[in-house]
Structures are given as structure tokens and as C-alpha cells.
Amino acid sequence: MKRTLPLLIAAVTGFVLIGAHFVPYTQSWGEEAMIWFDILAAIAFILGGANLVRLNLQKISDRRAGWGYAAVTVIAFFLTLVVGMAKMGVHPSAQFPQFAWSGDYVQEGSSFWFIYQYAFYPLGATMFALLACFIASAAFRAFRAKNTEAIILLSTAFIVLVGRTYAGTALTGWMPEALQFDNLTGTIMNVFNLAGNRAITIGIGLGVVSLSLKILLGVDRSYLGTEE
């Protein structure tokens, strides 16, 4: 039963969604199904939040390695939760000025906005900025000319890299038009790269169709866990 019922729900919902793509009358059913998913995901968030707090509190309690990070996590979690739910620093909305909590919790100047703007956003940007360093280190490894394929890769990368800058145009302007780096870059990106990309995309599309059918027909049940 533990596997049969979810399988049935998945199959019915899946086939209804496929049908909704072709039958105009049922188009809104697909939107309904997505709303149900959002409701489920919102409820499941409680599970996730509870799991996060429990594991981190356990870590602090056991004084395990890195328990200080766990303390920061728990404090940040509750601080953001309380500030957001209590709508601290939020002014009442113009529509309902008599209700103190009628303003939007992300209102500019509110405490939640302050946390987002001055803590969360810069931290996220910092993590994203690391990508620049990682691209350099990955490119350094990927473009080492170890064999013929690597040499072709390196040459192509060089042309595309230089061809996308003004230097590419300036340095190769004297060459025949077809060999100028900016034109070569266009050819590489619009012909070779695009063809490869489309082949991968077609494969992905077929893979999605095949896996979806297997799930809807109950052929693949590996994601459902165990009956016991």
C-alpha cells in the first residue's frame, strides 16, 4: 500500500498533465496540480526546518567538530524567522493603517529587509564571486595540451576567448574575413557548438519522455522507497 498509493497518484496526475497539454478544457487542471505541489512543498518545509534545527542543536549539545557553525546557523534561523513573522520595523499599509501588521514583511526599511539587504545578499554575492576563481582553475586544468583532443580544445577556446574581445577584432583585422577571430567565433558558436548542444538537448528530451513513461507506468519504482 505504501508504494501502490503514491504510484497511483503519480500515474493519474502525470497522465492528466499530459492530457492537459492537448485538451484545452483540462488546461487549468495542470495549474491546479502545481498548486497542490506547492502546498505539499510548503508543508514539507516544516519537516526540513525541524530537521535543520534538530541536527544542529544535537551538534552543539555534543560539542562535535564545527559546533560553532551550528550555533551560528541556529541563531540565524530563529532570528530571521522571528523578525520575518513578527514583521519587525514594518509600517502599516496605506490600505489598512489601523492594523499594525498590515504592511509587507519585505517592506524597505523593515528589519527583515535589513537582514536580506545587508547580510543575506552580500553573503550570496560572495559565494557567487568565488566562481570566477574556480573558472580560472578549472580552465587551467581543462586546457592543458596533453593530447590531440586537448590541443584542439585549447585552440578553440583561445579563438572564442579572444574573438569575444575587441582585441580579437583588432589583432586579426588584417586576415581574410572568414579567418578573423570574431567571425571564427561566430562560426564555432553558431555551427559546431549549437549542433552539439542540440544533439544533447534532443537526447535529454527523449530521456525525459522515456523516464516519465517508466514512472507513470510503474516500471521504475526506485524513487518510492520500500514497502516495509
Partner 1 sequence: MDKSIFLTVLAAGLFSWGGASPVLAQSPRPPGEVRAADFPNDAGDAVRVEWELSPDDQPQPAERLVVAYEILRREAGEEAFTRIGEETYQTRSFKDDGCTPGASYFYQVVALGPDGARSPAAAAGSPVTPVMQYFDFSQFWFGVILLIVGGSVIYFIQLARSGRELKVRPIAGLEAVDEAVGRATEMGRPCLYVPGILDINDMQTLAGVTVLSRVAGLTAEFDARLDVPTCRSLVMTACRETVEAAYLGAGRPDAFNEDSVYYLTDEQFGYVAGVTGKMLRERPAACFYMGAFFAESLILAETGNAVGAIQVAGTAMPSQLPFFVAACDYTLIGEELFAASAYLSGESHQLGSLKGQDVGKVLGGTLVVVGCLLSTAAVLTDAALLNQVLSYLTDHVLGNQGW
For partner 1, the closer of residues 27 and 93 by Cβ is 27
Q: Which of 25, 94, 166, 174 binds partner 1 (CB under 8 A)?
A: 25
For partner 1, the closer of residues 102 and 193 by Cβ is 193
DSSP class of 91: P
Let me know: does 72 contact 101? Beta carbons within 8 Å: no
**Residue in this structure with the C-alpha cell 499530459, named with its chain if needed:** 18
* Minimum CB distance to partner 1, residue 9 (Å): 13
Phi, psi of 89 (to 5 degrees): 75, 10
For partner 1, the closer of residues 150 and 167 by Cβ is 150
* Minimum CB distance to partner 1, residue 170 (Å): 28
Let me know: does 2 contact 227? Beta carbons within 8 Å: yes
Q: Look at residues 89, 117, 124 and name the one whose alpha carbon lies nearest to residue 103.
A: 89
For partner 1, the closer of residues 40 and 75 by Cβ is 40
Sign of CA dihedral 29, 33, 34, 35: positive
Residue 146 interacts with partner 1 (CB under 8 A): yes or no: no
In 63-120, which ranges are continuous DSSP H helix?
A: 67-85, 111-115
Sign of CA dihedral 115, 119, 125, 127: negative
Rounded Cα–Cα distance for residues 100 and 113 (Å): 17
Residue 160 interacts with partner 1 (CB under 8 A): yes or no: no
DSSP class of 145: -
Give first-to-last CA distance, the chain, whole Å. Answer: 10
Residue 204 interacts with partner 1 (CB under 8 A): yes or no: yes
User: Which among 93-101, 124-132, 158-166, 171-179 is the span making contact with partner 1, rule CB under 8 A?
Assistant: 124-132
Residue 106 interacts with partner 1 (CB under 8 A): yes or no: no
Let me know: does 85 contact 111? Beta carbons within 8 Å: no
Residue 187 interacts with partner 1 (CB under 8 A): yes or no: no
Q: Which of 48, 68, 97, 173 binds partner 1 (CB under 8 A)?
A: 48
Residue 166 interacts with partner 1 (CB under 8 A): yes or no: no
For partner 1, the closer of residues 100 and 195 by Cβ is 195
Residues that bind partner 1 (CB under 8 A): 21-25, 27-28, 37, 40-41, 44-49, 51-52, 55, 65-66, 69, 120, 123-124, 127-128, 130-131, 134-135, 137-139, 141-142, 197, 200-215, 217, 219-220, 222-226, 228
